[in-house]
A and B are shown apart, each in its own frame.
Chain A
Amino acid sequence: MMLRLSNVQKSFIEPDGTPLPVLDIARFEVAAGEQMVLVGRSGCGKTTLLHVIAGISRPDRGQVEVHGCDIATLPEAGRDRFRADNIGYVFQTFNLLPGFSALENVLLGMTFARGRADGERAATLLNRVGLGHRLTHKPAMLSVGEQQRVAVARALANRPKLLLADEPTANVDSRNQQQIIDLIRQTCGEEQVTLVLVTHTPEVAGQFPRVERLDEFNQAVAT
């Protein structure tokens, strides 16, 4: 099993001090190499769940096992290290660093993971997403679709075991949307990366063999 969540609970604190439950998940599992989609209405905790899985946030209680390691028990630096080595993350807003070229954005993830960057792999990845001719272009010089492709290449740079994609097609047009989805699925397949993708778009969700509705198994928001 690549991902297993058990009795995970997470709350935010309201300004008046009262806790606001966001996640309450008894069990959630994703098999190694599986490609699945999480859907759900806005505010049902999709992004928070991805943050917990990635170790960006820590659950209040419960276990978050990724590739056999309960990252909820790791200190922050340990989670950072684990994330760098094992988890790729694609954001809805791409989050490319504006001062860095496409190639450098891909190299960044490698730097933080291993302390050194593999320029050849970065260039290969960018070639694979169709941007071999745009290596030195900065994000502002790339189209929205191209930026998201760079983000995908960056997320895969460290050969992660798990790729988390948070609405990766939310900001692209329908033509680019399909290209991005095809790219992610194909690349994850080639690299044997487990994929958990969050989307609002039924057309995207419809292409995946497994679709889970978070607002159905997250007791904190279930109606």
Chain B
Amino acid sequence: MSLWKIAWRSIEQRSLASCLTAVSMALGVALVVTVLVIHSVVDHFFRHSSQGYDMIVGATKGGRLQLVLNTVYHLSQPVENLPYRFYKEFLKDGEHPGKFSSLVDVAVPLCLGDSYDEFRVVGTTPAMLEAWEPYQKYEFAAGRNFEHENFFEGVIGSVVANATGLKVGDTFQPTHGVEATEGSHKHDAFTVVGILKPTGTPNDRALFINMEGFYMLRGHAKEEEQEGRGQKAEGGMDAEHEEHGEHEDDAMHDEHHEHADEHHDDKRAGDADHEHEEHAKGQHAENGEAEHGHEDYDEHEHEEHEHGHAHTPLPESQREVTAILVRSSATNVMASMNLVRMINKGNEAQAVLPAREIQTLLDMIIGNLRFLLLALSVLIVIVAGIGIMVSIYNSMSDRRREIAVMRSLGARRSTVLNVILLESILLSVGGGAAGWLLGHGVVVGASPWVQAHTGFALGRFEFSPWEAALLPALVLLASLVGYLPGLAAYRTDVAKALSAAP
């Protein structure tokens, strides 16, 4: 009969106390496992969310971390904008390639500042969902990517789709501002043409719309460019919206303004279909697709589309971008450093390396938070360990005779000490194993809810490498807490214990 079995029999004999101490250990370990796994996922989430690009370029106003949080994680407030011409410096096409273009493989513009429900709306180009392979591949659960020519198309992330119930073919109206308030105005409707498969990145919580359509929304034209009326007419309704109330002298604007007020103030989400018809017309007209219930339009709406919603792209002089995601040239090893140096030399923009900023974020905030949570969890495990020690120690007075009998049968002092240590180890490791299963069970159970609400993809079998340290740590803890009662067993006076009344 092994010493393990002897220890196990002792545990069985005191089943209630043993169960309670093991349960307390299980809860402690479950907490540790949950913290480790969630941190591992969060860590992975933050480190891999920017896969595909190595640099973010934004306006100099605003912190570097804010720029990363804003563009990569769709958190915090958007920073100031960059002129569109700055973005063009990254482009290779055209007669005059941009000054940064030779150092860049991919550059994708982002236009931020709008939201839908609790989710951020990102105006961008179709490349946003295509250009990052093999580092980040976006696949579609339904539909397709939006197309450059169709200004009012959009693609939504998986969390957005789950939370809002939007399907391909539905429309949504972005709201101006990243935090919707009562006074926030709603924009024109975009049609969902694609739903992304879950990526486990913050983009699951975003809606991507065609940047061209984004520019046409009210308030998105650069203000300083609106001084010239001619430009405004060319620029379409956005500039006019920006200054509505000042256009009473212009019949077309009056008509549009009235209608826009009616449209933006009176219409609610329930009217989405109507709005979709209204605003999708531009793209449909361009595509030669007029079948979407256009026969229902009244003349007034047609007039609006033809005049107010003239879907002519916004002139570049009126355009701005919030940030540019950049993958520097793979063939030039110094490209990234040179780009940072060149961009940061000027006052117009700043280039940040997201990996570095994320490391700072992890070290400063998330790392400390994890440390705090882990420290608390480990403390709970230690308290559970002390519970085991107290439980075994309290049983020693009842077991003194039992130990004396073992000794009289030939067990050495060290043997009875080992039996007690093994008992402590069995309780700790057994409770720990149950806690490990419980912790992972909680993670698996909570996974769909967490993913639906946060976009964090807690995989069903997520493991933290630190979990490998649990077993030796528990054995060490058990040995420490088992030592005191073990010592009591070791010191048992056999003759005295055998002579004592049973």
Chain A residues close to B by CB (< 8 Å): 47-48, 51, 54, 56-57, 76-77, 80-81, 83-85, 89, 91, 93, 95, 97-100, 104, 107-113, 117, 154, 158
Contact = CB atoms under 8 A, between A and B. Distances in A.
A104 B1 contact: yes
A111 B13 CA distance: 20
A147 to B, nearest CB: 12
**Which of B10, B405, B413 is most buried by chain A, counting CB atoms within 10 A of its CB?**
B405
Nearest to A78: B412
A85 B410 contact: yes
A84 B5 CA distance: 19
B409 A99 contact: no
B416 to A, nearest CB: 10
Contacts of B499: 47
Given A47-B499, A109-B410, A113-B410, 20 more contacts: A56-B407, A56-B495, A57-B495, A77-B412, A80-B410, A83-B408, A83-B410, A84-B409, A84-B411, A91-B408, A93-B502, A95-B401, A97-B9, A97-B402, A108-B1, A108-B409, A109-B409, A110-B1, A113-B409, A154-B409
- Nearest first, the 6 closest Cβ-Cβ pairs linking A and B are A84-B410, A99-B13, A112-B410, A99-B9, A112-B411, A109-B409
A199 to B, nearest CB: 18
Contacts of B10: 99
Contacts of A99: 9-10, 12-13
B2 interface: yes
Chain B, interface size: which category? 20 to 34
Contacts of B405: 91, 95, 97
Contacts of A84: 409-411
**In the complex, which of the residues A48, A56, A57, A112 has the most CB atoms of chain B within 10 Å of its own CB atom?**
A112
B65 interface: no
Nearest to B11: A99
Contact of A80 (B13, B401, B407, B502): B407
B1 A56 contact: no
B234 to A, nearest CB: 92
Contacts of A57: 495
A111 B495 contact: no
Interface string B460-500: 00000000000000000000000000000000001100110
Question: Which secondary structure dominates chain B's binding surface?
Answer: helix
Contacts, number: 77
A211 to B, nearest CB: 24
A100 B8 CA distance: 10
Interface string B218-255: 00000000000000000000000000000000000000
Interface of B: 1-3, 5-6, 9-10, 12-13, 401-402, 405-415, 494-495, 498-499, 502
Contact of B2 (A77, A80, A111): A111
B237 to A, nearest CB: 85
Given A95-B498, A117-B1, A108 B413 contact: no
A47 B495 CA distance: 9
Contacts of B9: 97, 99-100, 104
A108 B495 CA distance: 19
A98 B498 contact: no
Contact of A89 (B6, B13, B408): B408
A54 B410 CA distance: 10
27 contacts: A51-B495, A51-B498, A56-B407, A56-B495, A77-B414, A80-B407, A80-B410, A80-B411, A80-B412, A81-B410, A85-B410, A95-B401, A95-B405, A95-B502, A97-B9, A99-B10, A99-B12, A99-B13, A108-B6, A108-B406, A109-B409, A110-B1, A111-B2, A111-B3, A112-B409, A112-B411, A112-B412
Contacts of B1: 104, 107-108, 110-111, 117
A100 B405 CA distance: 13
B126 to A, nearest CB: 72
A56 B412 CA distance: 11
Contacts of A76: 412-413
B4 to A, nearest CB: 11
- Among B1, B410, B412, B498, chain A packs the most CB atoms within 10 A around the CB of B410
Contacts of A80: 407, 410-413
A112 B406 contact: yes
A164 to B, nearest CB: 10
B232 to A, nearest CB: 91
A78 to B, nearest CB: 10
Contact of B498 (A56, A83, A110): A56
Contacts of B502: 93, 95
A83 B1 CA distance: 19
A48 B102 CA distance: 98
Contacts of B3: 111
Contacts of B413: 76-77, 80
A121 B127 CA distance: 80
A214 B164 CA distance: 95
B494 A56 contact: yes
A117 B498 CA distance: 24
A111 B412 contact: no
Contacts of A100: 9
Nearest to A83: B410
A38 B171 CA distance: 103
A69 B498 CA distance: 24
Contacts of B415: 112
A110 B412 CA distance: 13
Nearest to B412: A80
A47 B501 CA distance: 14
A56 B408 contact: yes
Nearest to A114: B410
Nearest to A54: B408
Nearest to A106: B1
B17 to A, nearest CB: 13
A54 B495 CA distance: 11
